[in-house]
Amino acid sequence: MSFIEVAEDHDFSYQNLPYGIFSTASNPTPRIGVAIGDWVLDVTAVKHLFSPELAEKCIEGQTTLNALMGAGRPAWTEFRNTLKKILSKDDPSLQNNAGLRASALIQNTEVIMHLPAQIGDYTDFYSSRNHATNVGTMFRGKDNALQPNWLHLPVGYHGRASSVVLIGTPIRRP
């Protein structure tokens, strides 16, 4: 359990700590944040509570989650475990430090969210029969919508990184 009160039905509980990139009006530098309840934990403000190696490689100066995502499972596990410890009701490092809490915990209404990763390239797969049928109908018509190979092997296609945007970004469709 966390020392931060979170409603039972809240999406961002102690058991679900989503990572993101945010800034604020008072500090426009994008940085790593973790949502818990109606708060965002500024990870850069508590980087000294992580191992020096993890802080240097994955937190300091990072404006995306790319370094953390690329660091591998041991780093992900350490990152998550350290966050859980920092936010735990049993750990005094943040809970009992009013100054640190004031700088590290920001109301979620005060943050500006940014794209969390630099997307270089990606491949998308037709994993749903409905999706594959709908797209196939657009290209080949209803009678030939789903190609036989879809039932036997994964069908992938090259995606455009420019199509990955934040919610609310206006989209101009061709």
Q: Which residues contact 122 (CB under 8 A, 6 or more apart)?
A: 159, 161, 164
DSSP string, 52-83: HHHIIIIITT-SSSHHHHHT-HHHHHHHHHHH
**Annotated active-site residue in 48, 114, 131, 158:** 131
Tell me the residue ranges of DSSP E strands in the chain.
Answer: 19-24, 31-36, 39-42, 105-107, 111-114, 122-125, 156-159
* 48 belongs to the catalytic site: no
d(CA 21, CA 174): 30
| Strand ranges across the sheet with 31-36 | 105-107, 39-42, 31-36, 19-24, 111-114
CA–CA dist 103, 113 (Å, integer): 18
Residues belonging to the active site: 131
